[in-house]
Each structure stands twice: as C-alpha cells, then as structure tokens.
Amino acid sequence: MESKADHPCDAITGNFSDWIGLAERKKVAIIGGGVAGLAAARKLTQNRISDVLVLEAQDYLGGRVKTYREGSLLVEDGAGWISGGSANPLFSLAKRLGGMSSPIRKESYVSAI
C-alpha cells in the first residue's frame, strides 16, 4: 500500500463544518471528487470560474478510479483501461499526458493478467 505521506489528499485538513462553511461562500460547490466532479472543476476553471470547491466524502480523490502502489507495482482498483478507444475523451487526455501503455495483443490478455 502507498504510504500516507504520498497521498494527494494529505494536504487537506479541517473538519466537516469548516468545509460546509467554505462551500457556502463559493459560487460553485461540486459534490464528489470522482472523474465527473474533477472534470467539471477543470472545465469551470478553464472558463475562468475559479470560485469552485470540490467536496469529497472519502479521503482520496478519483472515486471509482483508485490507484495504489503495492511495492513496485501500480495497482488499479477500479478503472484500468479506457473503454471505447479514441471516442472516449480520456483517450486524448491520456495520450497528451503520455499515459498510454503499448497495446496488449488479444492473445496476451491472459498472460498479461
């Protein structure tokens, strides 16, 4: 498992009433820090709406996309591949960020797992 110090949410502090108080002073509060919530926050900030707060119930961002480190391995506990190929907006994002692995040949699926 990843060590606590490596977690992207480690810098987040405070308690529920602090965060709700903060949300009430924001123009936009997004409930949930899964892909949809994070994409909404990104879209808003790209369009100069920066008074945004993402409220996430769990102690990590990503929702059903959950990656953790097990020794030298990165383990995907949720989404592991991009469904729909290039039709999926995540395909171009992963390509741009250099996050694409080499294609796995169909006959290699079993041995790759």
- Identify which of 42, 36, 33, 35 has the alpha carbon closest to the alpha carbon of residue 12: 33
Q: Which two tokens stand for residue 9?
A: 């949410």
- Alpha helices by DSSP H, the chain: 16-24, 35-46, 89-96, 109-112
Torsion of CA 33, 39, 43, 45, to 10 degrees: 40
Q: Which is nearer to ligand FAD, 14 or 48 (CB)?
A: 14
Q: Which stretch in 15-23, 33-41, 91-99, 103-111 sits in contact with ligand FAD by CB under 6 A? A: 33-41
Q: Among 10, 12, 51, 81, which residue sits at the site for ligand FAD (rule: CB under 6 A)?
A: 81
Interface positions, 84-103, toward ligand FAD (CB under 6 A):
none
Whole-angstrom distance, CA of residue 9 vs CA of residue 56? 10
Interface positions, 38-77, toward ligand FAD (CB under 6 A):
55-58, 63-65
79 makes contact with ligand FAD (CB under 6 A):
yes
CB of 40 to ligand FAD, least distance (A): 9
Binding region for ligand FAD (CB under 6 A): 31-37, 55-58, 63-65, 78-83
